[in-house]
Amino acid sequence: MVEIIVSVVIEVAKCLAPSIERQFSYVRDYTRNFKNLNNQVEKLEGEIVSMENAVNDAERKGEEIEQNVQNWLASANKATVEGKKFVGVEATTNKHSFKGCCPNLKMRRRLSKEAVRQLDAIVKLREDGRFERISHSIIPEDTLLMSNKGYEDFESRMSTLNDILGALRNPDISMLGICGMGGIGKTMLAKEVARKAKNDKLFDLVVFSEVSQSPDIRKLQGEIADKLGLTFREESESGRARRLFSRLKKEKRILVILDNIWEYLDLQVVGIPHGDGDKGCKVLLTARSLEVLSRKMDSQQNFVVGALEEEEAWSLFKMMAGDYVEGSELKCVTRDVAKECAGLPVSIVTVARALRGASIFEWKDALKQLRRPSSTNFKDIQPAAYKAIELSYNKLEGEEVKNLFLLIGYAYVESIDELLRYGVGLGLYQGISKMEEARDRISTLVYKLKASCMLLDEGLSMHDVVRDVAISIASAEKNVFTATGELFDGCKEWSDESAVKLYTSIVLRDIKTNVLPNGVQQEYPQLKLFSVRADHQESSSLTIPNNFFERMIQVRVVNLTYMNLLPLPSSLGLLSNLRTLSLCNCNLLGLSVVGDLKKLEILCLRGCGFSHLPVEVGQLTWLKLLDLRGCDELEVMPPNILSNLSHLEELYIGTSFYKWEVEVGGVKNASLLELKHLHNLTSLDLHIKDVNSLPRGLFFEKLERYRIPIGYFWNRKYDIYSRDFRIELNTKVCLKDVLIVQLQGIEHLGLEGLQEQDVQNFVNELVKLQGSSQLKHLYICGSHLALNPEESEV
C-alpha cells in the first residue's frame, strides 16, 4: 500500500519542477538508501578492525601511529556508531499517518536524505582509509640524559661546564675533550653537558656512549645506532660504519659524546663524521690523559677537571655521611677524614657512605688507615683514591658481601644471572641450597654494595677506579689473576710455575689470539674459577686445546664466551668438581662430554650455535639451572631429557625451541608435558608459538618468576616484569582451559583475542586475585566483543 502511494506521488512530481522531483526521489529510494547505508556501515566496521589490528602490531614494535591514522580511526568509529544508531532509529520512527492509510512522506524524505548524507560520508571515509603507512619508528629518549642523579652544581664545576657549552657553540670547533684523573667526575660532567646542551636546544640530538679500555667497535656502533633509531642491515664493521656515517651526516646539529677514551680511536672506522667538512656533527671526548686527547685524537679544545675545593668536598662529604658529622665531638676528625679524600668525588662518596652513622672510634681508625702509605701498584690510581676505596671495602660487613664485591670487579660481572652462576658454583652463599634463595641473597648483597656506593645505580656497573682497586685487592688477597686483550702474554704467564700453583681464579677478557697452551704442564691445585672471554670479532680463531683441563681438576666454575669449541675439549669431562659450566655465544659441536659432569648444577648455553641437545644432558640429575635462550639453531630436543632433571629449579628456553613433538631427522622431539615432572621448578622462560599445543594445567603454583608468551604475535615490550604471562586465545582455546589463576603473583597479563565466553571466567579470576593481586599491567587486545581494544596500567 505504501509503495503504491509513493509511486503515484512520484509520477505527479515528475510533472513539476526538477528540484521537487529530487526531493521526492528521497522518498522513492527510501528503502534502498537505508539498505546501502547499513551495508557501508558493516564494511567500515570490518576495515576499522583491520586497521586497529595493524595499529596494535605497530605499537607492540614500539612504533608511533601517524596522526592522520588516529584521526581516521576516531572519525570512522564515530561514523559507525552514528550509522548503526540511525538505522535502528529508522525502524521505530517510520510511522504511518492517516490511521495507517498513508505513509508519513515528510518523515520519509527527511530520514532518507540523512541516510544519503551519512552514506556519502562513510564512502569517503573508506576511501580516505587507504594509507601508505600507518606508523613510524621513534627514537626513545636516552635514560642516561633524562636526569643526572648525583651531580652537584659546585662552583668549580659550573665554570668548566659553562666553558664547555661555550665551546660547543663555536662553529669552528668540531671536537673537544674533558680530561682528569680517574674518579674526578669526568663522566658526571659530560652527562650534565649532554643534558644542558639538549635542554638549551644547542643540538637536535645528543648521543652518549662509553668506549672503555678495550673498545668494541661493533658494540659502540650498535649503541649509537640504537639512540638514532637506526637498524643495521650490514654485518661487516666497515658496512655498519658507512651506514652510521650516512645517518649522522643527515643530522644538522648532533653531539656525540664518547666517554672514557684510553687510546687513539679511529672515528672513521666507527662511522662518526668530524672535521671541517662535517660542521653538523660535534664530538665530545672524556679521557684520563691529556696526551690522548690533544695528540692522539687531535681534540681542538680540552678542559681539565681538577679536585673539588675544600668546602665543596666537605659539602659533598656531609651529604653522603649525614649532618651529624658537624657535631662538636666528631667535627675535627670528620673534617680530617674528608681532607684525606683529596677532593676526589669517588673517594669522598665511598668513604662517607662507609662511615655513615659510625662512632668516634671508627672515625679515628678510618683516619689512621687513610694516612698509611698506599699499597697500590696501579699507575693510573691516585693513592688517595686507592686508600679511600680500600677503606670502604674494609668497612663492608661480612665476607659474603666482600667476596661479591671482588667477584663483580675482577670477573666483570654484568648481571644478576652471572652472579648467580659464578656465586653458586663457587659456593659463596653459605647456608643456601635453593636457587631462588640465592637470588634473594644476591639482591640483598647488591643492595648493600649500592648503599655503600661501591656499585653505581645502573645494574651492576662499577666505576673504573673502583674496579681497579677491586682487582688489586683480589690479586693481593685472593691470588686472582686477570688480564685483558693484548696485555696478556700467554706463554710467560703459563710458564710461571710458582705463580700458577697459587691462582684461585683466572679471568681473561677480550683475548684476540690463541694464547692457551696445548697441554698445561703445571698443576693448578687452588684454581676454582676459569673464565675466558674472546674478542668476539676474533672468536672464530680462538680455541681450547683438547687436553687443556687435565691439571685443573679442582675447578668449580668454567666460563667461556665467544669461543670456537668444535668440538668441546674432552678434558672438560675430567672436572669432577665442576658446578657451573657457562658457554655463552660459542660455536659448539659434540656436547656429549657434559654427561660426565655428574656434580654440575648450572649449565648455561645461552646464544650458542648447535642444533641437537644431546641426550647426555639428561644424565645431569643434580642440575638446578638450564639456560638455552638465544640458541636459534636448536631443532632437536630428544624425549626424557627434561623430565630426567628432577632437581631442576630454573629453566630458560625463551624463543629458542618451538618444535615440540615434531619429528626432525627421524627423532621425535620432547613433549611440553615433560615440564610436569619438574616438581622443583620455580623459574620458567618459555615462548610457545602454537596455543593449540598447550597442555591443560601445564603451569604450577611453585613458579616464582616466569615469562610465558603463548601465540605468534607477542613481542618482548614488557620484559621488565618478572612474572609475565601472555596468551593468544581463540575459539578452540578459552581462558578457562589455561587456568592462569595457578600462576602466582602475575605482574603483567596479556590477553589477545578474548572471546565472549571468556569474559565471565576472566572476571571470576580477577575477583579471586582481589586483595592479593600484584598485577601491574593488563593488556587486552583483538577482542571481538563490543569493547575497544585497550591497554591499561593497573
Write out pLDDT tens, residues 101-140. 455 667 777 788 888 888 888 888 888 888 888 887 766 6
pTM score, two decimals?
Answer: 0.69
Q: What confidence score (pLDDT) does residue 308 get?
A: 86
User: Which residue in 769, 696, 708 sits closest to 736, CA to CA?
Assistant: 696
Q: Which amino acid is at 259?
A: D
Burial 148-178 (b: 16+ CB within 10 A, else e): bebbbebeebeebbeebeebbeeeeebbbbb
For the segment 741-762, the average pLDDT, to the nearest whole number, is: 71
Residue 498 CB contacts under 8 Å (≥ 6 apart), including other chains:
none
Mean of the pLDDT values across residues 771-792?
58
Burial 563-582 (b: 16+ CB within 10 A, else e): bbbeebbbbbbbbeebbbbb
CB-based contact 457:450 (threshold 8 Å): yes
Q: Which of 25-34, 121-130, 218-227, 254-263 has the lowest mean pLDDT?
A: 25-34
**Residue 768: is its pLDDT beyond 80?**
no
Between the alpha carbon of residue 682 and those of residues 129, 343, 473, 566, 624, the distances in Å are 48, 48, 36, 33, 10
pLDDT at 84: 83
Mean pLDDT of 3-30: 55
- Residue with the bigger pLDDT between 13 and 113: it is 113
Structure-block grid coordinates of residue 427: 659456593
Please give the backbone phi and psi of residue 583, each rounded to the nearest 5 degrees, phi first. Answer: -120, 100
Largest Cα separation within the chain, whole Å, is 120
Three-state DSSP string of 297-310: CCCCEEEECCCCCH
748 or 96, greater pLDDT: 748
Whole-number pLDDT of residue 98? 41
What mean pLDDT value characterizes the chain?
81
Task: Look at 561 and 750; give whichever has higher pLDDT.
Answer: 561
Which range among 479-483, 577-581, 722-726 shows the weakest confidence by mean pLDDT?
A: 722-726
Asked whether 740 and 748 are in contact (CB, 8 A), the reply is: no
Q: Which pLDDT value is given to residue 148?
A: 59
The residue ranking higher by pLDDT, 78 or 59, is 78
Does 772 score more than 60 pLDDT? no
Q: Which of 103-117, 142-156, 293-307 has the lowest mean pLDDT?
A: 142-156
Question: In order of start, what are the domains of the chain with their CATH numbers?
Answer: 18-137 (no CATH), 143-304 (3.40.50.300), 688-793 (no CATH)
DSSP 435-475: HHHHHHHHHHHHHHHHHTTSS-SSTT---HHHHHHHHHHHH
Answer whether the bond into residue 567 is a cis peptide, omega within 30°.
yes
Q: Can you tell me the mean pLDDT for 477-497? A: 71
Look at residue 651 and tell me whether its pLDDT is greater than 60: yes
pLDDT (0 to 100) of residue 426: 95
Position of cell 696485555? 487
- Whether omega for the bond prior to residue 789 falls within 30 degrees of 0, making it cis, is no
In the predicted structure, residue 17 carries a pLDDT above the cut 50: no
Q: What are phi and psi of 230, to 5 degrees?
A: -100, 135
- pLDDT for res 97: 44
What pLDDT does residue 8 have? 47
pLDDT for the residue numbered 785: 46
Percent of the chain with pLDDT over 90: 24
Whether 287 has a pLDDT exceeding 60, the answer reads yes
